[in-house]
A and B are shown apart, each in its own frame.
Chain A
């Protein structure tokens, strides 16, 4: 081992230990809770009270401050689930499997939130609750992909096999997401273009998009909090026979 060059940083290997992971998430958690509360609080007040109303859509556009962060998060959550699944498959890391498993229910709820807020926003803007528009449809399919992963995971009793199967499925889904996205986009589109892109400045004025950015970051912090809580729960559940868990629960 001594002569071999380590090509992965030390913390990556440490993450594989459930106990270390439990400790580090315990230390990170308070910071993220505070950041999430602060950002979501400030963002919501700013968005609902101080951001200017849209000149065409009036106040109804304000739902964007929930809708867009939820939609962005739903997509990145899938990405995280697939990457964690791949790490679990390749390095056989238990913690990565737990991360992938914990991502799925969060992904479902944010995808549902994005769809629901989209429907509510669609009513005053397009005049109907549901339109077979490209973005809505691809979000719906993303929701189905999440549900498929969860269904497969719960159908297999062996925890390790379930995690591996779900990882393969989410990787297949990951390859398919861009294909689905573009195929649906060419098929039918009514939705406005993406609010944030990496290469261009937002088309909205700064008073509108800055609170949106705050909300997006707030949503990510909230995601981190709920993911860490789920992982900690999962670690305790799976390591319930390990000495350190018994000691911690018995000792306190």
Chain B
């Protein structure tokens, strides 16, 4: 017993960062599967918001086809945001987060793994569900591939940015509304390039430029956002 306590664990191997990533990812996914209703809620919300638009604006197919890219994107953005609030909440409440911060593991990797798990459980299903909503909104067939591709590249960025907001507000009782206030302005570039790529695809224009920009934002997000998430979690837990 004493031997295991005094022995310094080997963190030097590059393998340990990878295994940390997989361990956190597996744990998060397992937790998500145990709470299946949490998994379903953002998807139901996504469908609901998208179906409010024809009711509220107009059921006319030509009009809906025009607004479809924007509506699908805004709905995806809002449901990502909705699911964001719980990302660190339960870990914060039961003290797991504090233990993770105290451990000698890099928060960068832990944050990245948590966001990856969140994306697999919300962003990916949203992307897969989007064509269904797009058909309901009469999105022209030319735009379908563009829609799925942009969502595939854009939703991870949304998860990364949202996680920063979630980390900043995790210690607060009423973080929900505040979270959207912090995060929504930062979502603007993703929304712009995402929906305009779909629009370009419908008009028969090349979309590779838009996709490249979305990819660039994702790359920037993967490199920078976990740093901010780690710093924000440290502040939230210590405060």
Interface of A with B (CB < 8 Å)?
A: 89, 141, 144-145, 147-148, 151-152, 155-156, 158, 160-162, 164-165, 168-169, 171-173, 175-176, 179-180, 183-184, 187
Contact = CB atoms under 8 A, between A and B. Distances in A.
Contacts of A145: 185-186
B13 to A, nearest CB: 31
A141 B182 contact: no
Contact of A152 (B178, B185, B189): B178
Interface residues of B, number: 29
A210 to B, nearest CB: 36
Nearest to A142: B185
A65 B228 CA distance: 39
B196 A158 contact: no
B169 interface: yes
Nearest to A164: B235
A152 B239 contact: no
A149 B172 CA distance: 15
Contact of B217 (A144, A155, A165, A179): A179
Nearest to B210: A186
Which secondary structure dominates where chain B touches chain A? Answer: helix
Contact of A141 (B188, B220, B228): B188
Interface of B: 161, 164, 168-169, 171-172, 174, 178, 181-182, 184-186, 188-189, 192-193, 196, 213, 217, 220, 224, 228, 231-232, 235-236, 238-239
Given A151-B182, A168-B168, A168-B231, A175 B224 contact: yes
The listed residue with most A CB atoms (<10 A of its CB), out of B174, B189, B220, is: B189
Nearest to B224: A175
Given A168-B168, A172-B164, A184 B178 contact: no
Contact of B184 (A144, A164, A175): A144
A187 B192 contact: yes
A187 B186 CA distance: 16
A65 B146 CA distance: 45
A8 B182 CA distance: 34
Contacts of B181: 144, 147-148, 151
Given A141-B185, A164-B235, A187-B196, A155 B172 contact: yes
B168 A169 contact: yes
Given A144-B185, A180-B188, A183-B189, A151 B232 contact: no
A160 B239 contact: yes
A179 B191 CA distance: 12
Given A156-B171, A169-B164, A183-B193, 5 more contacts: A151-B182, A156-B172, A168-B231, A168-B235, A180-B188
B168 A184 contact: no
Considering the complex of A and B, which 4 residue pairs feature the smallest CB-CB distances, nearest first? Answer: A161-B239, A183-B189, A144-B185, A148-B182
A155 B192 contact: no
Contacts of B235: 161, 164-165, 168
A184 B192 contact: yes
Contacts of B189: 176, 179-180, 183-184
A175 B178 CA distance: 20
A85 to B, nearest CB: 12
